[in-house]
Amino acid sequence: MKKVVLTLAVTAMVLLTANAFAQSPSDALFEKYGSKDGFTTVHITKELFTLFTDIAEESDTEEAKEMQEMIKGLDQIRILMYEKNDEGKIDEKMLSEFRNQLSTVKLKDFTELMTVKETSESVKFMIQKQDKIIRELFLLIDGADQAGFISITGNIDMKSIANLSKAMNIKGMEKLKMMHDHESDKK
């Protein structure tokens, strides 16, 4: 009996440890390309969300309460985009390499919600669920002269994500509005 209990305990620890170190598909790409020229990176941590929540608690405004509700379950937001520089130039070789890397991202645990194609741009919306909770929203963006992704992790409330993208006004986050607009068009 002790052997069975010990085996179960060791198995549980291994599974929990493996789950704790599970990486998002964005981690390797963020590490590889995040510091290279031509890439725009944004990394917002849970600590910043906590500060926003603390500030919102001190405020009586409806807007502050909405912001608090939107961000309470988020762990992080990562954005990595490669696009034209300030002079309007782009390194086609780097763009091609980055696109190839994006196409090989392993999304086996993700479910595609939708793909939005407009002119020369495509945005694929993917989610990873754990039970009924959305743990990660992952957007793959591919355009004529840009490519990248947005990764949002935490306990994600999809109703709040589009509002968050508007409120934060961060380059790249406007892609999330596409999902909200698409859903509104269905109604």
Tell me the sheet residues that pair with 74.
Answer: 154
pTM of the model: 0.73
Q: Strand 74-83's sheet: what is its strand order?
A: 39-45, 74-83, 146-156, 133-143, 121-130, 111-118
pLDDT at 99: 92
Q: Could you read off the pLDDT of 49-99 as tens digits, one per residue?
A: 888 777 777 777 877 777 777 788 889 999 999 988 778 888 899 999 999
